[in-house]
Amino acid sequence: MIGENLAQVRLHIDLSRQKRHVDMRQDFVKLIAVTKNHDVDAMRTAIDAGVESVGENRVQEAQSKLSVLDRSVEWHLIGHLQTNKAKYAVKMFDLIHSVDSVKLADELNKEAAKINKLQDILLQINVAEEESKYGLKIIELTGAAEHVVSSCPNLRLCGLMTIAPFFDDAEQTRPIFRTLYKEFKALQARNLPTADIQWLSMGMTHDYQIAIEEGANIVRVGTGIFGPRQY
Ligand SMILES: *Cc1c(COP(=O)(O)O)cnc(C)c1O
């Protein structure tokens, strides 16, 4: 089941890439298997079927899985992080997608410095400015990016992430993704020192195909691989 789902998702990723502007069709799309609320057995099955990156939204859950998962993969933090957990996050995650405040960036920088790590991060942007979601507003993006490159030597800014509002018709997410892609290209064009703006993380099970068409090069898919989560 997981293997078949994964094959379907990979097929859809390829089909969506073919719908991109011709210049972008060959560009790589990284698939993150979102494993929150799924057990280690399911994770092993997915990894054996070719998954190379997993995404978790809670530090504690990731910690307990990391301690027993006998497979080597990239670990991505995709959920909101409280500043008091930054010290655990820097020890575990290859890429932290959910940096949603300057205060959190400072805390991550401090904890990464303690373990001598250059921590890769994305800034999470709340494009639609939904009350229910974390993330910086677009107008705060430039200031936050400048803060990271000038004051956080142990962080490497690698790009942007967003969670689109939920619409029954996923097509309605398109303007959100298009807006963030423009911001991503503008950030790239600024050639900020120490930054390496290469990842645009957008799209989940419901809307990843649209996100890819609009320029996402990381998609975060849980339900589409593992089926519904039991909470
Ligand atoms: C849970 C989650 C996902 C995956 O959601 P699905 O709908 O199961 O694909 C992606 N991104 C974030 C930030 C999440 O919290």
Does the structure show a pLDDT above 90 at 73? yes
Q: What confidence score (pLDDT) does residue 23 get?
A: 85
Residue keyed to tokens 């507003």: 137
Q: Is 78 in the pocket of ligand 1 (CB under 6 A)?
A: yes
Task: Among 37, 57, 95, say which to mutate for ligand 1: greatest number of ligand atoms within 8 Å of CB.
Answer: 57
Q: What confidence score (pLDDT) does residue 229 get?
A: 86
Q: Is 65 in the pocket of ligand 1 (CB under 6 A)?
A: no
Q: Which of these, 203, 105, 182, lies nearest to 149 by C-alpha position?
A: 105
Q: Whose CA is nearest to atom 12 of ligand 1?
A: 78
What atom of ligand 1 comes closest to residue 220's alpha carbon?
Answer: 10
Q: Is 38 in the pocket of ligand 1 (CB under 6 A)?
A: no
For ligand 1, the distance from its centroid to the CA atom of residue 149, given in whole angstroms, is 28
Report, as an integer, the average pLDDT of 29-50. Answer: 97
Q: What confidence score (pLDDT) does residue 25 get?
A: 87
Residues 137, 203: Cα–Cα separation, whole Å: 18
- The distance in angstroms from the start CA to the end CA of the chain is 20
Q: What confidence score (pLDDT) does residue 231 get?
A: 66
pTM: 0.97
> Which sign does the torsion angle of CA 120, 125, 131, 132 carry?
negative
Q: What confidence score (pLDDT) does residue 196 get?
A: 97
For ligand 1, the distance from its centroid to the CA atom of residue 204, given in whole angstroms, is 5
Q: What confidence score (pLDDT) does residue 167 get?
A: 96
Q: Is 163 in the pocket of ligand 1 (CB under 6 A)?
A: yes
Q: Is 108 in the pocket of ligand 1 (CB under 6 A)?
A: no
What atom of ligand 1 comes closest to residue 229's alpha carbon?
Answer: 8
Does the structure show a pLDDT above 80 at 223? yes
CB of 57 closer than 8 Å to CB of 32: no
